[in-house]
Amino acid sequence: MRVVLVHYHLRRGGVSSVIRHQARSLRSAGVEVLLITGEDAPADIDFPWVRVENLGYDREENRKAPPDDPRREGAAGALADGLVAAMEGRWGEAADIVHVHNPLIQKNALLIPALKILGGRGIRLLLQNHDLAEDFRPDVYAADTEYPENCHYAVINSRDHSYLRRSGLKPEGLHLIPNEVAALNAMPGLRRTRYLYPVRPIRRKNIGEALLLSLYIPGGRTVAITLPPAEKDGPFYRRWTGFASELELPVEFALGVEHSLEELLGTAVCALTTSIKEGFGFSFLEPWSAGRGIIGRRVDYVCKDFENAGVSFDSLYSEIKIPSEYVSPGMLRNKMESAIRKVYGAFGLAVPAHIIRMMTEELVSRDTLDFGRLDEEFQESIIRTIQRNRTAFREVAALNPFLEQLADWQEDVSLIESNGKIIRENYGEERMSKILLDAYRAVMVPVRHKISKPVLLDLYLNPLRFSLVGMDAV
């Protein structure tokens, strides 16, 4: 079997790591693999690869051109031809399967129409989605383009699988392909003083909550964040670094710039996550392989998949309750309504009146608010209040028993060993290779179906999941 793995780039990051793992396991299984990318591959890529013009992140002229513009149609045709030429240059013919990663996230306005051209030529497509733009990401939503029909799709979690099924895809043409989890190592013999958050802190990683947790950890310990973000998230990141410095919080930033992850895990009491949403959820699995437990915020739809596989989580919370009187209700209502109108408007939708009413009633009817649904301004104000006012400190701790227990938290060695074994068995290379090859065998059989974009939008745009800090693009 000959398989092409396609992505905009192969820079270090989540999707690129998945591609590397898939390529390695496919090669081990005797599959011929070619990587096609829109940029030159890093020097450490040891698989055959080809750079194809116009496959990288969008050029401005492509983004602005309407879908029926002859220039855009011509450029999409050229991209399709380039993908075919890359395969023919390697094998003299097209691959058995063209496996494309994250094509529905519109980082390139030419890719979806190019894939439709390939499908029309009889090339078998597997479109694997690590994220869906409908999940409150209007900045990468292909508003004027229908998604490819009559090809196979894949997702990485059960929630996305359910939503795509309900939006019109048939079970035989939709595949759940979790990510392989590679083992991490912790350097032995180091003093363990850090609650390690191994992340690039984009907004939805909810960095303010990590700072709040730092108020409740024992003296002599720190919350440590490993990497800086890309520049587009720089303003939020600099806001938090400046705020932490001003309040002299026990928080360290960008440690991974000068220290290896192995070293940082060696200094970790445990791993920490405060993220509002995830695609696959590596952060809930990887630390166990390095002998480190996990504390922090639970993301239900990813944790349920892992729990169904047998993984146990004993130190996660679903929310951090803050007394409603800590926040101006009028200001919060205005911010939430403005943000949801902005999101819906970016999708080309008007907000239904019942959505606004539902959000307002939920806000005013509760005695507490979830810290993770608030924006940076509210979160800063709450952290100041808790730090300066011992009554507020105790009140918030009483509402959230996890905070009271944080100072005495101890790792469960038997749980670490058990989870590590389960993760190796269920998300290791052998198991993931079998799932991937099973999906490829299914892709060899044609399927006729299509995604209803309005249905998919309706499923994802749940106002009760809306978080001001969780909207990277708002």
Q: What percent of the chain clears pLDDT 90, i.e. is strictly above it? A: 83
Q: 67 vs 469, which has greater pLDDT?
A: 469
**Per-residue pLDDT tens digits for 40-53:** 999 889 999 999 98
Domains defined along the chain, listed by start: 2-180+429-457 (3.40.50.2000), 194-324+374-425 (3.40.50)
Say if residue 433's pLDDT is above 80. yes
Residue 20: CB atoms within 10 Å? 21
**Per-residue pLDDT tens digits for 28-37:** 999 999 999 9
Confidence of residue 360 (pLDDT cuts 50, 70, 90): confident
**Per-residue pLDDT tens digits for 405-424:** 898 899 999 999 999 999 99
Say if residue 69's pLDDT is above 80. no
**Per-residue pLDDT tens digits for 167-222:** 999 999 999 999 999 999 999 999 999 999 999 899 999 999 999 999 999 999 99
Please, what is the average pLDDT of the chain?
93
